[in-house]
Structure 1
Amino acid sequence: MVRVGHALRDLPLIHEAFAAGRLSFDKVRALTRVATAGDETLWLELALEASGSQLARICHAYRRAIAVDDPRRTALQRARRRLVSWWLDADGMLALCATLPPEEGRLVLNAIESAVSRTLAKDQAAAAASGGAPFGLDHTIVVVAGNIANRAARRSAEQPSGP
Structure 2
Amino acid sequence: MAVAVPTDLPITDLPITERLAALASQWAQSQYELVMLGVQLAESAEWIVAGSATPAQHLAAIADVEACTAREWLRAGRRVRSLPVIADAFADGTLSYSKVRALICVATPDNEAELAALALDVPASALRAALAAWMNTTMTPADLDAYHHERRSVAWRTDPDGTVIFTLRLPPALAAVLISVLTTLVMRTRARPDASGGWPTLAQQHADAFAEVLTSGSGDIRTEVIFHVRADGCSADDGTPITETAIARLLPDASIRALIHDAEGRPINASGRHRHPSARQKRVVKERDRACVDCGRTTLLQYDHQPPFEQTGHTVVDELDLRCAPCHHERHRR
TM-score normalised according to structure 2 size: 0.21
Q: Which structure has more helix as a fraction of its residues?
A: 1
The structure whose RCO (Cα within 8 Å, separation 6+) is larger is 1
